[in-house]
Structure formats: C-alpha cells, structure tokens
Amino acid sequence: MKTNLASVMESTHSKNKQYCQNQIRITKIFLLLTIVACAFACLEMFKVFWEQLLDHRSFAAIGQIAFFIIIVLLTYGNFVYQFTRLGYFQRLLKHSSPDREELEKIYKEDCPSLAILIPSYKEELDIVRETLLSAALQDYPNRRIVLLIDDPPEPKSYAAFESLQNMRNLPNSLQKEFNEAAYPFLQAKKGYLERKNSNKSKPQKETKLLIQLYKNAFLWFQNRMNEYDDSTIRKELPEHTRTFMRNSFFKEWCNLHSKRISELEFLLTKGGADSYRIEKEFNRLVSLFNVNFSTFERKNT
C-alpha cells in the first residue's frame, strides 16, 4: 500500500513539474515575442515622430509622444504580468509539499491551538452550516470555531428574529453532533492509555482496534457525503455548494480514511503498528471530532 501510494504521489509530482516547465517555456516565448513586437513598434513610432519633426508639425509630434507614452504604459503592464507569471511557476517548480507523515507530526507533538473566526451577516443558515463544517473538519488538533454574528441584535421582523435565533443555535447543534461523534474515539483512547500504562498494550490488538475506529470514521463521513444527494435536506443549499462539499470535501476525507485503513491492514499482516504510530493514530482520531464551537455578537457588547 505504501509503495502504491508513493508511486501515485510521485506520478502527481511529475505531472505538476511537467506542467510548470511547459508554462515557463510558454511564458518565455510570449515574453520574447512581446520584446520583439515592442522593438519594432518603437522603431516605427520613432520614425514617424522624426518625420513629423522634420516637417515642422509640432502638434502632430506632441500627439505622437502622447501615443508613445500610452503604449509604454500598456506594455509595462504586460511585462509586469508576464514576469509575475514566470516567477510564480518558477517558485511552484521549486516548491516541495511535505508528505503526510511529516504533516501528521502535530499529533505526536504539542502544537498551538487554532481559532477559526467565521463572520456572518444575515447569511443563509445552510451556507453558514457548511462553512462551520468545513472549518471544524480541518486536519489539525486543538481547534476552536467562533461564529461572529453581525446581525442586528434587535430584529424588526419575526422572520429576522427567527433567522437570528437559528443562527445562534447553530453552533450548539453542531457541538452536540461533534460531541456524539467524538465520544467513541475518546473512550477508545482512554482505554489505550490505560493498557499502555499497565503494559497490557499489544500492537496487533491496538492495530485491529484502530482499523475498526477508522472504519467508523469512514462511515460517518460517507453518511454525510450521501446527504448531499438528497435534495430534501438543506433545501437552501445551492447545487454548486452541494457538489463541492460532496466531491471536494467529504469524498476526500473518505478517500483519506480508506487509505489509512489499507495502511493499517498492511501493518497488521506484519505484526501490527509500532507504538509511535499507534499513539499518533489515537490522537488523530480523537482530534477529528474534538472541536469547540462558540458564538460572538459584536453588536451585542
């Protein structure tokens, strides 16, 4: 599984590198064409300007100078864009993304807490809910999600009052949902620590437990993903948002957990994961749904 995953990542990196190299070549070609075109244009404009001076057509010469300045400014903008584009792809070519193992060191080490602030002013409830979900399900421990509600604290209509109350209650409902999802993982980690401290932890048994826990996490994400196919759920959600959350968010989480299950199953055939990997996976599973939701109303203070 590791070999296959590494080969896929290597293939993706190779494709990205080839794409960047092609874009750099294309940019250099158009940059050269722009320079040549500018050179010919400058020669032609200077020729016209010189003829106007020889013919003592002062106003025409002044007009030619103004025209030349306009062309220079437009060309300057073109050069800025092309050099910026060239620099972007050159930096992208040199960039090397850290692998998954490097990124997940945060689950073994103490890392600073992360607060994500989400402003809202008379927004649709379903849209805010999706935003809170996408923020809460970031792959990082110690997360805190704060919904900044900027709606008037004293609504003038019943519809506005109802909308404000629903917005205020949204973080609480999500907190309850996440607490329920996090409970089995918290209990599993608690049991693991007890076994570890009493020297009763066995790599194979812990790996089997981790596989089952990841399958449970996979099912949670899969169930949420399937909800986007039901148009009766969250009716106000635009179709493009449904598609994005289903295919680019929850589906990616499902794929990630599916790969993790395969990795652990492979390790199980080798006698189980080592203690470092086991503890890291328990920490990651716990932090997956261990999120704190809250609200803040600036106009109410």
Task: Encode the chain (301 residues) as per-residue pLDDT tens digits.
Answer: 444 444 544 556 677 888 888 999 999 999 999 999 989 888 888 888 888 888 888 888 888 888 888 888 889 999 999 999 999 999 988 877 767 777 777 777 678 889 999 999 888 888 899 999 999 999 888 899 999 988 888 888 888 888 888 899 999 999 999 999 999 999 999 999 999 999 888 999 999 999 999 999 999 999 999 888 877 777 777 888 888 888 888 999 999 999 999 999 999 999 988 888 899 999 999 999 999 999 988 766 5
Domains held by the chain: number = 2
DSSP secondary structure of 71-94: HHHHHHHHHHHHHHHHHHHHHHHH
Query: Quick one: 88 and 107 in the same domain?
Result: no
Separation of alpha carbons 25 and 185, rounded Å: 51
Cβ distance 164 to 196 under 8 Å? no
Separation of alpha carbons 203 and 269, rounded Å: 11
Token representation of residue 19: 């794409």
Query: Quick one: 79 and 122 in the same domain?
Result: no
Query: Quick one: 256 and 174 in the same domain?
Result: yes
Separation of alpha carbons 159 and 165, rounded Å: 10
**Structural domain boundaries, residue 10:** 2-94
Cβ distance 187 to 195 under 8 Å? no
Query: Quick one: 218 and 259 in the same domain?
Result: yes
Query: Quick one: 118 and 65 in the same domain?
Result: no
The last residue of a domain, from among 75, 94, 113: 94
The last residue of a domain, from among 38, 66, 94: 94
The last residue of a domain, from among 94, 120, 141: 94
Token representation of residue 229: 């196919």
Query: Quick one: 187 and 250 in the same domain?
Result: yes
Paired with 118 in beta bridges are 147
Paired with 242 in beta bridges are none
pTM for the predicted model, two decimal places = 0.70
Residue 2: what pLDDT? Answer: 44
How many Cα atoms occupy the beta-carbon half-sphere of 64 within 13 Å? 18
Query: Quick one: 16 and 140 in the same domain?
Result: no
Query: Quick one: 209 and 264 in the same domain?
Result: yes
Query: Quick one: 180 and 269 in the same domain?
Result: yes
Separation of alpha carbons 50 and 59, rounded Å: 13
Query: Quick one: 87 and 143 in the same domain?
Result: no
Query: Quick one: 83 and 153 in the same domain?
Result: no
Query: Quick one: 84 and 201 in the same domain?
Result: no
Instruction: Give percent helix, percent strand, percent coil of the chain, each to the nearest 5.
Output: 75, 5, 20
Beta strand segments in the chain, E: 114-120, 143-149, 291-296
Token representation of residue 228: 């986007």
